[in-house]
Amino acid sequence: MLEKLKQRWKVNTLNLILIIATFALGGSLCGYAGRKILQLTNIDKGFLYILLYIILITLLWPICVLIISVPLGQFSFFRRYIKRIADRTSRRSAKKINIAIFASGAGSNAKKIIEHFSSPGKVKIALVVCNKPGAGVLDIAAQANIPSIVIEKNAFADGDAVLAQLKNYHIDFIVLAGFLLKVPEQLIKAFPKKIVNIHPALLPKYGGKGMYGHYVHESVIANKDVESGITIHFADEVYDHGEIILQARCPVDPNDTAATLAQKIHVLEHAHYATEIDKLLR
């Protein structure tokens, strides 16, 4: 273990001993200083005391090890060491979550999601994936200056081609927004619980292959259901399956047609999908 540390920190045996001593003495000084500071507050040794003590020693540790490092001749090492920790922490906190939106049609849901995340923040719409050349969602992506790719059905089913593209764009999360192709197993495994879908019905009713858009609404009306709605869920290997995240409902009136019901469903989709994605990612 000591040899590995010497190689990692690029130091000789004597410097390694002094570095370890600095860690130990700096930690002791940090603990002592934290206790002395808390004694001045007269706080009882309970939960609040422990919480403040942890916060104090976290803040004091860099100062204490730098102080101890001076007489031991390790100041330059610990200055670089603490800077690396600070840089790493800063990068982690600043890391964006890159979303890919998969859509096949006009892209009204995609547009709402893009608008929702348009302000600078932790979440970024980094890519739009479509399986239909000329689909409206591609125009929406272009207007928002979001890269897009069109992938052919067989290539998508293979999975490897789209996976490579997603890696190129550093995608962390996938949103299915009116995407009509079945997600291949490779993507499900590569993005466990990181692929969400929205379905225009109250699953498990009216789900499965071929059940999309007006086909769903026609079935609801034909069966004389008194309500319909949307289901937001995690995607898995089965069409319209996976853990349900949210369902929102709307009434089905006796005079509703597939077109009028679709309008009600669109209102629910636009009201809920982007905000639920936001909640999941936060």
pLDDT at residue 167, rounded to an integer: 93
Q: Which parts of the chain sit beneath pLDDT 70? A: 90-94
pLDDT at residue 94, rounded to an integer: 58
96-192 has which CATH code? 3.40.50.170
Among residues 199, 217, 233, 272, the one annotated as catalytic is: 199
Residues of the chain with CATH 3.40.50.170: 96-192, 194-282
Are the beta carbons of 178 and 107 closer than 8 angstroms? yes
pLDDT at residue 127, rounded to an integer: 97
pLDDT at residue 92, rounded to an integer: 62
Predicted confidence (pLDDT) per residue in 92-120, tens digit: 655 789 999 999 999 999 999 999 999 88
Q: What is the 3-state secondary structure (H, E, C) of the chain?
A: CHHHHHHHHCCCHHHHHHHHHHHHHHHHHHHHHHHHHHHCCCCCCCHHHHHHHHHHHHHHHHHHHHHHHCCCCCHHHHHHHHHHHHHHHHHHHHCCEEEEEEECCCCHHHHHHHHHCCCCCCEEEEEEEECCCCCHHHHHHHHCCCCEEECCHHHHHHCHHHHHHHHHCCCCEEEECCCCCCCCHHHHHHCCCCEEEEECCCCCCCCCCCCCCHHHHHHHHHCCCCEEEEEEEECCCCCCCCCEEEEEEEECCCCCCHHHHHHHHHHHHHHHHHHHHHHHHC
In CATH terms, the fold of domain 194-282 is Rossmann fold (3.40.50)
Is 199 assigned a catalytic role?
yes
pLDDT at residue 90, rounded to an integer: 66
pLDDT at residue 91, rounded to an integer: 60
